[in-house]
């Protein structure tokens, strides 16, 4: 009896277990966000944090120290559980953010406040305060956390179904292998990684074959490649401009074109390296075979090179990046006395695109350029945060898009009236992310989501003896830059401009297909069995939330 009594006293005098207290609300809020698909929840890290909060401490000052430590750790863990940019991404983009105007920073910050979610959070707080005196909330929260940790382990054992962390339901989907046998395997973490590795290995072997020289009777023509910032099919549909006449003006329209990135510099490099298969983001900044550079191959065949921008190219070192990694090192076309259309998010001028195109055309007509020319034109009037010169508020995207589409459509008509032989290629860099989703707020492009990388690419041949009539030829196969390079090579001899009739079927038949893979510095998305998956950093693959 004496021994038992002393034992009881020692137990009662030891450190006491406590509940989670106010941290219950923290975890309940996370569970609610996880349930609605707004979190990339990390069960083990959260379980460790919960154990840290529950661990009994016999010394009072240790408890106070724990409270001080818990707040920054809890905040960092919450951020880690969201789809918001990680520390590495913030650091890499930090220098560019400092160039934003103050008004744009305020407007951008306001997008991160979802007032609907704030309202739900308040309701959850009221419910928690109401039930807390009557129910052991800590026991309920701990039970949920334990289940989230053990369910991925026992789930496959109970139901014999392979799964990807947090995307278990996708493994039960019927397999849609298509032409790629690699997509026949279940979308497990290992299989998705193997698919991506195989994709890049295969792409490394692909290359457009340019002729050693043009035939003696080749018809000279001009190639104009227009690279538009912040334009995707999703953006076009969002602002209701899907029926704009511009889209009917093309001869060929790619409906499933993948820009493969959501940032300007990498997109421009990929376009300028279009003659080789798609590479990883990291390899964009590594030396490549000279045959990969589209404009180098054109220069070898007698095309003069031209470089045009409707901006100064200084933000994010865009111009330097394009010259160094896209290998287009020619002088920038003169921008003096061009009318200013907009003010960029960093305060720099954006020139009127119609005026820039007219200057380019006037130079051609004046004979200042050789008979064959290849021009790269990058334009940014649709970029997020652009303003009118005398206004501090961002200009409406639809108004800017309508104006740009009108200018491009009018310019194509002007070229047609001139009867000059020109191959016009329009390829957007990426979308504007006008419509946010559960992973990213509107305007944020840290993740190359399908809405951002699914862009409209079109080709128009002008000055043809047998111009195409009617609606454009639609390319509905998954495509990317290699298909653009292939079409350029098929038109190099210029015979398409004098042929009568033109064999359009032969022109577009067998264009290279490229599966949907998009990558930035810190994240990559792929389409597998008809569903999108994403990997952020070194984490496991998860299904992209609908």
Distance CA 343, CA 312 (A): 11
**Beta partners for 276?**
207
Q: What is the pLDDT of residue 529?
A: 93
Q: What is the pLDDT of residue 174?
A: 40
Distance CA 414, CA 385 (A): 31
Summarize pLDDT for 478-494 with one digit per residue, the tens. 999 999 999 999 999 99
Q: What is the pLDDT of residue 164?
A: 46
Residue 485's φ and ψ, nearest 5 degrees, are -60, -40
Q: Residue 254 in 3-state DSSP?
A: strand
Q: Residue 132 in 3-state DSSP?
A: coil
Residue 469's φ and ψ, nearest 5 degrees, are -110, 155
Tokens in use for 284? 């964009």
Convert 458-496 into a string of H (helix), E (strand) and C (coil). EEEEECCCCCCCCCCEEECCCECHHHHHHHHHHCCCCHH
Q: Are 443 and 111 spatial neighbours (Cβ–Cβ below 8 Å)?
A: yes
Domains of the chain from N-terminus onward: 16-160 (no CATH), 181-206+512-546 (no CATH), 221-418+442-454+467-493+502-510 (3.40.720.10)
Summarize pLDDT for 125-151 with one digit per residue, the tens. 888 888 888 888 888 899 989 988 988
427 Cβ contact partners less than 8 Å away, ≥ 6 residues apart: 225, 226, 227, 228, 257, 259, 271, 455, 457, 481, 484
Q: Residue 378 in 3-state DSSP?
A: strand
| Dihedral of alpha carbons 437, 439, 443, 449, sign | negative
As a whole number of angstroms, the longest Cα–Cα distance in the chain is 112
Grouped pLDDT means (10 residues each) for the chain, 546 residues: 45 63 91 84 90 84 86 89 65 53 60 74 85 86 90 62 44 42 85 96 96 95 97 97 96 98 96 97 94 96 96 92 93 95 89 96 78 95 91 89 97 93 97 87 87 97 94 97 98 96 96 96 93 89 86
Q: What is the pLDDT of residue 27?
A: 93
Q: What is the pLDDT of residue 10?
A: 43
451 Cβ contact partners less than 8 Å away, ≥ 6 residues apart: 232, 234, 431, 433, 435, 437
Q: Are 541 and 524 spatial neighbours (Cβ–Cβ below 8 Å)?
A: no
């Amino acid at each position: 009896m004496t021994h038992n009594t002393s034992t009881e006293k020692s137990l009662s005098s030891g450190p006491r277990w406590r509940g989670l207290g106010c941290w219950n609300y923290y975890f309940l809020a996370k569970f609610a966000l996880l349930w609605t698909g707004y979190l990339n929840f990390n069960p083990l890290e959260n379980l460790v944090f919960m154990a840290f909060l529950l661990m009994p401490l016999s010394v009072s000052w240790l408890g106070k120290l724990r409270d001080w430590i818990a707040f920054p750790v809890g905040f960092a863990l919450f951020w880690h559980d969201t789809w918001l940019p990680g520390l590495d991404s913030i650091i890499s983009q930090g220098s560019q953010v400092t160039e934003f105007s103050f008004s744009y920073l305020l407007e951008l910050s306001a997008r991160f406040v979802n007032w609907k979610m704030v309202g739900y959070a308040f309701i959850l707080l009221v419910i928690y305060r109401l039930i807390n005196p009557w129910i052991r909330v800590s026991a309920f929260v701990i039970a949920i956390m334990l289940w989230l940790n053990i369910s991925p382990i026992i789930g496959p054992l109970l139901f014999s179904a392979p799964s990807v962390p947090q995307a278990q339901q996708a493994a039960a989907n019927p397999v849609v292998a298509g032409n790629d046998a690699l997509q026949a395997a279940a979308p497990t973490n290992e299989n998705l990684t193997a698919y991506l590795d195989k994709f890049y290995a295969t792409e490394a072997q692909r290359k457009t074959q340019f002729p050693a020289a043009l035939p003696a009777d080749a018809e000279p023509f001009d190639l104009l490649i227009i690279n538009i910032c912040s334009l995707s099919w999703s953006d076009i549909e969002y602002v209701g401009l899907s029926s704009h006449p511009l889209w009917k003006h093309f001869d060929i329209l790619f409906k499933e074109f993948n820009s493969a990135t959501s940032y300007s510099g990498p997109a421009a490099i990929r376009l300028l390296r279009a003659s080789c298969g798609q590479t990883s983001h990291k390899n964009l900044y590594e030396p490549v075979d000279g045959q990969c550079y589209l404009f180098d191959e054109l220069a070898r065949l007698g095309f003069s090179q031209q470089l045009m921008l409707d901006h100064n190219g200084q933000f994010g070192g865009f111009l330097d990046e394009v010259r160094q990694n896209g290998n287009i090192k020619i002088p920038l076309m003169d921008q003096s006395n061009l009318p200013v259309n907009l003010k960029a998010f960093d305060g720099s001028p954006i020139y009127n695109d119609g005026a820039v195109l007219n200057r380019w055309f006037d130079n051609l007509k004046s004979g200042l350029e050789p008979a064959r020319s290849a021009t790269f034109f990058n334009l940014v009037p649709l970029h997020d945060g652009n303003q009118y010169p005398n206004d501090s508020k961002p200009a409406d995207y639809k108004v800017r898009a309508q104006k740009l589409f009108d200018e491009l459509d009018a310019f194509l008509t002007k070229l047609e009236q001139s009867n000059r032989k020109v191959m016009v290629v329009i390829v957007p860099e990426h979308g504007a992310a006008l419509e946010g989703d559960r992973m990213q707020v509107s305007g944020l492009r840290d993740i190359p989501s399908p809405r951002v990388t699914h862009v409209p690419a079109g080709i128009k041949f002008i000055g043809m003896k047998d111009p195409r009539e009617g609606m454009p030829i639609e390319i509905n196969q998954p495509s990317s830059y290699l298909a653009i390079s292939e079409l350029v090579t098929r038109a190099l001899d210029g015979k398409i401009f004098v042929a009568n009739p033109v064999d359009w079927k032969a022109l577009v038949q067998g264009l290279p297909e490229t599966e949907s893979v998009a990558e930035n510095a810190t994240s990559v998305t792929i389409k597998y069995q008809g569903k999108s998956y994403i990997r952020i950093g070194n984490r496991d693959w998860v299904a992209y939330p609908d």
